[in-house]
Amino acid sequence: MLLNQFLILGAVLFCIGVYGVIARKNAVMVLMSIELILNSVNINLLAFSLRNGSVDGHTFALYVIAVAAAEVGVGLAMVLLMYRNRRSIGLDELSEMKG
Amino acid sequence: MLSTIADAVWSAPVVDYHALAPEIVLGGGIVLLLLLDLFIADAKKWILTPVASFTLLAAFIPVLTLSLSDAGVRSLFDGRYVVDDFSLVLKGLFLLAGYVVVLLSADHIREGDYYQGEYWFLVLSSLLGMVMMASSRDLISIFVSLEFLSIPAYMLAAWRKRDSKSNEAGIKYYLLGVFASAIMLYGMSLLYGITNSTKLVDIGAYLGSDMSAIRAVAVLFVVIGFAFKISAVPFHTWAPDTYQGAPTPVTAFLSVASKTAGFVALVTVVYVGFPGSNEVWQPVFWILSALTMTVGNVMALKQTNIVRMLAYSSIAQGGFILMPLAVAGEQGVAESALRAVVTYLLVYAATNLGVFAVIIAVSRKTRSGEISSYGGLFSYAPGLATLMTLFMASLAGIPPLGGWFGKFAAFQSLVSAQNNWAYALAIIGGVNSVVAFGYYGSILREMWMRPVPDGDSSPVPIQSSLIVALAITGSATLLLGVLPGIVIHFGDLAGLAGAFGG
């Protein structure tokens, strides 16, 4: 059982995702980075579930996938609204309110 | 692997329908709202408002009967969903706060003239998530109820589709909220890997008090995920923009109900899941609490928009609520800290909803969110000005109002920890409550001493629903301060604190 390799893959994906959320200015790219983090969570859960021999991790991963789909639905709708109102999806332009 | 799934024994769980009745009633009400919204004509859509408010009141009935029954702690689904005193108090709080939000929104939404049905659907869904959160004792159910309460809240913040401010509010809330829950999930996946269980009680028993680096990281990530939800500094950056941009009743909902839900989740996870890991989370809460109070108060001082000022004020209040948690792991403090947090949450909910009720009433006349538009409020709306003074004094912690009792309980549990870190935090808290007088006082000065801005002193029109909301929040604020015994009666929360052994 190659637990370490799975965990390293999960950690790398997590780091790429966090970097993307912080560094990217494009709303859709940020959404994709968040998906990367969620998938790193799924990889972790499945690897642990296999090692521990319990199904809790599989169940958890299924819930994460379902909820992530709902979240992205809302997120893309908001990005679409933003595009309609401003003709741009750059997050650095969201600065109407400050201080 | 398949064999573990194939061999897993499954038996139908015994479901205690009485314990689940609040959730079932809410769920039924949500479905009813959706169906009504689909089938009735636009001219009759006003009927959805009473349906929403009666659903909340109906869901409150089983909460009452449950708290009066002698069955003690009801544990469902193998201890993953628990109905005890702690969860009942908070379910009651969520439902009442939801009812007040419905009262605040009623006219606001009807005048906005669109999507009434969806609005009530989203508010009630979010409340169902919060009610579930109060009972969740398992990583999966905590995660699901957290998302259940957050996703409708994102949509509520972006409610005014064509208003770019509301848009901005929604997107900022959404991106940071989802990012935070992703980080929290990573921590949860590590917790599951370490302990081989998603049940908080098992996690607590397995973690014990010995800490390795990976355990500390897991605990830290989960705590940070919830720190976003309660807008603790430095994870607060979404809060002022979201509160200012969202429609005002939604802001009231977010700053009270959503924040309380975050605290409930945090308290459950820390008390049931990580009781032995206090060496990891105590310093984190200490820093978060000190930073949150200080930054929230200092930023609130320089605001000119009242909703934005209240956003920072609510961040600062969050710091006060976090204070007892910074010592909750010390010997014998766990229970008083828990009581202080719950008391403060009750008082804060009543007071803050009251402030928003006044703001909504006044802004219908002045059409402005600036603090200067409150000039001379006492001369033409003495009732509103007096109530606002009451709420502001309660937020600032002046006796004999509710806010004073909340602060008293928090400081009491800090001091009972009897170590230097606790004293230091108490001093920071004390200084901050003085600083807070600065901005609460500036509103009072406007209302009582300044002249009316445009000389327009026609009376403020107040709808009956707002009067009811003001009556509920005003009397709750007064009663909680004058008769704190009511809350102490709620405070029998030993069930949750039991994990600390006392």
Chain-chain contact of A78 with B140 (C-beta, under 8 angstroms): no
pLDDT of residue B499: 46
Partner-chain contact A27 B171, CB within 8 Å: yes
Q: What is the pLDDT of residue B84?
A: 83
Q: Please work out, in degrees rounded to the nearest 5, the angle formed at the alpha carbon of residue B467 by the alpha carbons of B371 and B482.
A: 85
Question: Would you list the domain boundaries of chain A?
Answer: 25-89
Residues 6+ apart with CB under 8 A from B204: B272, B273, B274, B275, B276, B499
Q: What is the pLDDT of residue B493?
A: 54
CB of A13 within 8 Å of any CB in chain B? no
Residue by residue, DSSP assigns B338-379 as: HHHHHHHHHHHHHHHHHHHHHHHHHHHHH---BGGGGTTHHH
Which of B164, B299, B308 comes nearest A85 by C-beta?
B164
Reduced to 3 states (helix: H, G, I; strand: E, B; else coil), residue B414 is helix
Instruction: Please work out, in degrees rounded to the nearest 5, the angle formed at the alpha carbon of residue A24 by the alpha carbons of A22 and A26.
Output: 135
CB B327 within 8 A of CB B426: no
Q: Report pLDDT for B2.
A: 58
Fold of A25-89: Helix Hairpins (1.10.287)
Instruction: For residue B370, list its beta bridge partners.
Output: B305
Average confidence (pLDDT) per 10 residues, chain B, 502 residues: 66 82 93 90 82 92 84 80 86 92 83 76 94 92 94 91 87 92 93 90 83 87 91 89 90 92 92 85 92 92 90 93 88 83 90 92 82 83 89 88 87 88 91 90 87 76 86 88 69 52 36
In terms of pLDDT, which residue wins out, B456 or A9?
Answer: A9
Task: Determine contact: B206 vs chain A, CB below 8 A.
Answer: no
Query: How close, in Å, is residue B188 to chain A by CA atoms?
Result: 9
Read off the DSSP letter of residue B397. Answer: T
User: What is the pLDDT, as a whole number, of residue A8?
Assistant: 93
Give the span between the Cα atoms of B9 and B290, in whole angstroms.
49
Q: Which amino acid is at B307?
A: V
pLDDT value at residue B376: 81
Residue A47 pLDDT grade (very low, low, confident, very high; cuts 50, 70, 90): very high
DSSP B194: H
Q: Is ipTM over 0.85?
A: yes
Q: Any residues with CB less than 8 A from the CB of B66 and at least 6 apart, and which?
A: B18, B19, B21, B22, B74, B83, B88
* CA B113 and chain centroid, separation: 28
Rounded to an integer, what distance in angstroms lies between the CA atom of residue B273 and that of residue B176? Answer: 25
Q: For residue B459, what pLDDT is reported?
A: 78
Give Cα separations from B187 to B180, B198, B208 (angstroms): 11, 12, 17
pLDDT of residue B502: 33
Going B369 to B375 to B379 to B384, the CA torsion angle's sign is positive
In this prediction, residue B291 carries a pLDDT of 92
Q: How far is A60 from chain B (nearest CA, A)?
A: 6
Predicted local confidence at residue B175, as pLDDT: 92
CA distance B5 to B497: 35
B 343-372 residues with CB below 8 A of A?
none
* pTM, to two decimals: 0.92
Residues whose CB is less than 8 angstroms from the CB of residue B389 and which lie 6 or more positions away in sequence, other chains included: B444, B447, B448
B304, B371 in Cβ contact below 8 A? Answer: yes
- Alpha-carbon span B25 to B60, nearest angstrom: 9
Min Cα–Cα distance to chain A from B310, Å: 13
What pLDDT score does B332 carry?
78
The pLDDT score that the predictor gives to residue B428 is 93
How far apart, in whole angstroms, are the C-alpha atoms of residue B427 and residue B293? 12
Residue B426: predicted pLDDT: 92
